[in-house]
Structure 1
Amino acid sequence: MGVVHMYSVGCNGFGLSLLAIVKTLSQEQWYKMERINEIRSFNESNEKNDGDDVGNTIDFTPESIELIRNRLQSSGKSNYKFTFDTTKKIEEAAVLMPLCIVNGKPSVLFTIRSLNLKTHTGEVSFPGGKKESTDSSLESTALRETCEEIGIPTSQIDVLGTDSTLPNKDRTIKVHPFIGFIKHPIDIKKVNFNKDEVYGVFSVTLKDLLNKDKRRLERFRDSKIKYPVFATPKEIGLEIWGLTAFILESACITQDNESPFEIVC
């Protein structure tokens, strides 16, 4: 990922988190879910219970999907302040964070980049790429790339909204993250991914993404900022870091306006 230059660190109004919303919705009526204390209380109770029943309480329902959509559409601008290299041409790119159901469990879908690619080979990522002249919008870019990389057609994806724009490691590309829900359950073994671009696909359950024991903050190279790193299932044996982890943390995990980063003096 390299150093992402940042003047200030903070979270936007969307900090209540997609995952916390989905998690809480299965416990109480969705119209009560604006109450931060209830979200915090439910999360604390889950930390004390490691049984499978906890995972079963998390669900994607029509109500939770609509609340996620409304949250994304009504959230204010992020407090993250990034710099871009104005001496070079700034390009636009888009990625899709696919919310999905795998083996009956609400999850997030990830790709492993092909070993034949020039950059970030073998790393965990979301489907996405640079905007092309034929793309009518950045959302179209994210959907096109998702179809090209993992074979999921646009008709099967409900785009819920977008999160804050982020820079690539060279600060020459504005990356626009979109959050979408795949309407039909996913069978990982049957995902028809493009082997020229993708080495493999896997999913991580929302339960695991919410588990604080499975994510940490780590400083890369000479950065003064510690960035989020997520564990993946043992059979995958990789970590989610870099821009993908940045998007995941920003869009999903941060609660109560806490920063996902730690400044190291």
Structure 2
Amino acid sequence: MSIERIGVVGGGLMGSGIAEVNARAGISVVVVEVSDEAAAAARDRISSSLQRAVDRGKLTEPERDKTLDAIVVSTDLTDLADRQLVVEAASEKESVKLDLFTRIGAILEDPDAILASNTSSIPIVKLGAVSGRPDHVMGVHFFNPAPVMKLVELIPSLTTGEKTLDRMRTYVADQLGKQPIDATDRAGFIVNSLLVPYLLSAIRMYEAGYASAKDIDNGMVLGCGHPMGPLALSDLIGLDTIQAIGESLYEEFKEPLYSPPPLLDRMVDAGLLGKKSGQGFYPYG
């Protein structure tokens, strides 16, 4: 059974990207934000992204307009009631996600509707437990920028039904045209379990004065062939997100390499979150 109606909770960088991907695939999308201002910003973010695709020749103007027409932005969670799939893309805070899964689980009308989280690290089984439909809950982890990145991690928990996982594999591969990979429900899943310790190590190196941010990044780009250095990548992901994933990894495994270094904590406290705030390890105009 294909997905024809999807809801996205959160219209930030990830949520707006997920909404765009689905609308471009011909799926009806409802995006829910916390305020009118945030809803307007989400709409503008999607519109700007689509216009960039037009400017680059990746999308025609009629395709842009059709995609925008497929997206409704709201501030009311009850507008998700008729959705077949809801993807939660709110802030990476466990308390926020648990509250949303409790409320959305009670709103969905279709007993077969799937409730998914785009979390980078929070245990899926906890979200399923409060949803009232644990067999229909799983992780669906898109990567930033969602319209460009081909990978999607699928994370079933101990209580996720096989039918739910099969539907999501088909949805990701056949409807969105992306590559799904299966991961177990452990903090960090596959990609972040490998990536975040590397990023934290680069931050520790910079903190200790081994080298400048530019030289650390150039070392990995020019010496290892990476498309982007670790500090620039941390800025792109968001330093608050890196901190949250590191804390989640450390909480589960107690490995020192997962613990966020003091510099990262100080930067987040100061609001220096990377590209989205205009300043991280580098300034952004």
Give the TM-score normalised by the residue count of structure 1: 0.24
Structure with the larger helix share: 2
Query: Which protein has greater RCO, CA pairs closer than 8 Å, 6+ apart?
Result: 1
Structure with the larger strand share: 1
Give the TM-score normalised by the residue count of structure 2: 0.23
